[in-house]
């Protein structure tokens, strides 16, 4: 989407993870996100609720929430691990070669789902507040949305 719209997206994982899977400080992330929010147009990928969450929601005109099935997500995480073996993904912090551990697998299947109901309620609230909110539960619906966006660009 960033390429289509001519906007360099900020991937939260690129600022959260320093080389060698070292977590960056919240202060660093806050500075980076604050700089993005000062721009006229921006795309931020990822949630990281601790980091200027309310400010991002207030400033955003469009929010896209992916609510895919946990087993699809698990499949994609494993596929991604195979695809990027001994490599760093483009949306990951430099020097963080793709890895997979039980903690992350547990988060994909269980932990990341704990706030699902709250997230969906928040998306409904934001939509009621006049934000453009898109919730996708199936990859094909997201692909259709991107295809339609591409036609407009």
Q: For 84-97, write each residue's pLDDT tens digit.
A: 999 999 999 889 99
Amino acid 94: pLDDT: 87
Q: Which residues of the chain have pLDDT under 50?
A: none
Alpha helices in 102-138 (DSSP H): 102-109, 116-128
Cβ distance 61 to 131 under 8 Å?
A: yes
Amino acid 73: pLDDT: 96
As for how many domains the chain has, the answer is: 1
Amino acid 153: pLDDT: 85
Q: Provide the residue range defining the domain that includes 78.
A: 2-152
Element (H, E) at 132: strand 132-136
Entry pTM: 0.90
- Residue 20 is encoded by which pair of tokens? 């060698």
Cβ distance 108 to 101 under 8 Å?
A: no
Amino acid 8: pLDDT: 95
């Amino acid at each position: 989407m960033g390429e289509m719209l001519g906007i360099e997206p900020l991937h939260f994982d690129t600022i959260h993870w320093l080389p060698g899977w070292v977590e960056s400080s919240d202060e660093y992330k806050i500075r980076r996100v604050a700089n993005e929010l000062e721009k006229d147009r921006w795309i931020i990928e990822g949630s990281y609720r601790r980091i200027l969450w309310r400010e991002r929601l207030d400033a955003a005109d469009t929010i896209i929430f992916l609510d895919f099935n946990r087993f699809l997500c698990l499949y994609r995480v494993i596929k991604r691990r195979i695809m990027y073996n001994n490599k760093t993904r483009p949306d990951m912090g430099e020097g963080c070669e793709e890895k997979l551990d039980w903690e992350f697998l547990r988060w994909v299947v269980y932990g990341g789902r704990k706030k699902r109901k709250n997230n969906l309620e928040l998306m409904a609230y934001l939509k009621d507040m006049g934000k453009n909110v898109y919730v996708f539960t199936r990859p094909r619906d997201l692909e259709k949305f991107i295809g339609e966006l591409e036609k407009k660009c």
